[in-house]
Amino acid sequence: MGIVVRGKNVTLRGLTVRGFKVGLYVDGVEGFRLLDSDLSYNWKQKLKSGRMKEDVSDWMSFHQNENDEWLRFGAGVYLKEVRDFEVRNVTITGGQCGLMMTDSHQGKVWNNDFSFLSAIGIGMYRSSDNVVMHNKVDWCVRGYSHRFYNRGQDSAGILMYEQCMRNTVAYNSVTHSGDGLFLWAGQSTMDSGEGGCNDNVFYGNDFSHAPTNGIETTFSRNQFVNNLVLECWHGVWGGYSYGSKFIGNTFGLNGEAIAIEHGQDNEISGNIFRMDTNGIHLWMRESLPPNEWGYPKKRDTKSRDYLIQDNVMFGIPGTAFIVDSTRNLLLKGNFVKKVGKAFELGEGVRDMVDEGGFYSRAGGVEWPDVITQKGTVLDDQSVPVPGPYMERNGLVVRRDADPGMFGKILRESKWNPMVLKIVQDKSKDDMSPEELRDLHAKPYYIAPLDEGMVPFLGPDAKRGRTEILVDEWGPVDFRSPVLWLEDWYDSPTGGKYYVFRVAGPESGGWTFSAAEGCNYTKFDPAWQGVIPRTPPFVEPGVAKLSGDMGDRILVRAGGQFSITLNYSGVKTVDYRGVETPAGTAVPFGYTHDEVAVNWLVSFFNYDRAKIDPREKVDEFRKIYESEPVFSQRMSSLEGAWSGSPAEGVTANAFATLAEGRVTVEPGAYTLSVTSDDGVRVLVDGKVVFEDWTWHAPKTDDILLELAGRHSIRIEHFELDGYSALQVRLRKNKK
What b-and-e string marks burial along 272-290, b requiring 16 or more CB atoms within 10 Å of the CB?
A: bbbbbbbbbbbbbeeeeee
CB 689 within 8 Å of CB 700: yes
How many residues would you count in the chain?
Answer: 734
The CB density around residue 314, as the number of other CB atoms within 10 Å, is 20
Asked if 294 and 192 touch (Cβ cutoff 8 Å), the reply is yes
Query: What pLDDT does 184 receive?
Result: 97
CA separation for the pair 616, 613 (Å, rounded)? 6
| Three-state DSSP string of 46-96 | CCCCCCCCCCHHHCCCCCCCCCCHHHHHCEEEEEECCEEEEEEEEEECCCC
Rounded to an integer, what distance in angstroms lies between the CA atom of residue 123 and that of residue 102? 8
CA–CA dist 421, 613 (Å, integer): 66
CA dihedral 306, 240, 180, 49 (to 10 degrees): -140
DSSP conformation class of 565 = E
Instruction: Specify the pLDDT at position 288.
Output: 66
Peptide bond into 548 cis (omega under 30): no
pLDDT given for residue 589 in this prediction: 96
Q: What is the dihedral of CA 6, 11, 17, 20, to 10 degrees?
A: 20
How many Å apart are CA 171 and CA 203, to the nearest integer? 7
Measured CA to CA in angstroms, residue 467 lies from 208, 581, 622 at distances of 12, 25, 50
Determine whether domain 478-592 maps to CATH 2.60.40.
yes
pLDDT along the chain (734 residues), means of 10: 97 98 98 99 95 88 96 98 99 99 99 99 99 99 92 96 98 98 96 95 98 98 98 97 98 97 98 97 81 82 97 96 98 95 94 96 86 92 81 79 81 93 83 95 97 94 95 97 93 89 96 92 89 86 84 92 96 97 97 90 94 94 95 88 91 95 93 94 96 92 95 95 91 82
475: amino acid identity, one letter: P
In 456-597, alpha helices (H): none
Domain 93-412 CATH assignment equals 1.10.3470: no
Q: Which of 571, 568, 550, 555 has its CA nearest to residue 504?
A: 550
> Given phi > 0 = left and psi -120 to 50 = alpha, else beta, which region is 466?
alpha
Return the HEC string of 142-161: CCEECCCEECHHHCEEEEEE
The closest alpha carbon to 688, from 698, 701, 675, belongs to 701
The answer to whether the CB of 100 falls within 8 A of the CB of 78 is: yes
Q: How far apart are CA 229 and CA 175, in angstroms?
A: 9
In sign, the C-alpha dihedral spanning 158, 227, 475, 16 is negative
Return the bridge partners of 87, or none.
34, 109
Nearest residue to 656 via CA among 633, 623, 682, 691: 623
What DSSP letter does each residue of 614-652 carry, written as one string? TTSHHHHGGGGGS--SEEEEESSEEEEESS-SSTT--SS
Q: State how far the Cα of 261 lies from the Cα of 271, in Å rounded to an integer.
A: 19
CA angle 277, 281, 284 (to 5 degrees): 145
- Local structure of 112: helix, strand or coil: coil
127-151 b/e (C-beta count within 10 Å ≥ 16 → b)? bbebbbbbbbbbbbbbbbbbeebbb
3-state SS class at 449 = coil
Which among 246, 228, 543 is positioned nearest to 409, based on CA atoms? 228
Contacting residues for 327 by C-beta, under 8 A, at least 6 apart: 302, 303, 304, 305, 348, 349, 350, 351, 352
Please choose, from the candidates 57, 35, 28, the residue with its C-alpha nearest in 3D space to the C-alpha of residue 691.
Answer: 57
- CATH code, 598-731: 2.60.120.260
DSSP SS3 for 671 = strand
How, if at all, do strands 326-332 and 264-269 pair? unpaired
The residue extents of the domains of the chain are 93-412, 478-592, 598-731
What separation in angstroms does the CA of 37 have from each of 105, 109, 574?
A: 21, 13, 20
485 beta partners: 500
pLDDT at 492: 87
Q: pTM, whole model, 2 decimals?
A: 0.90
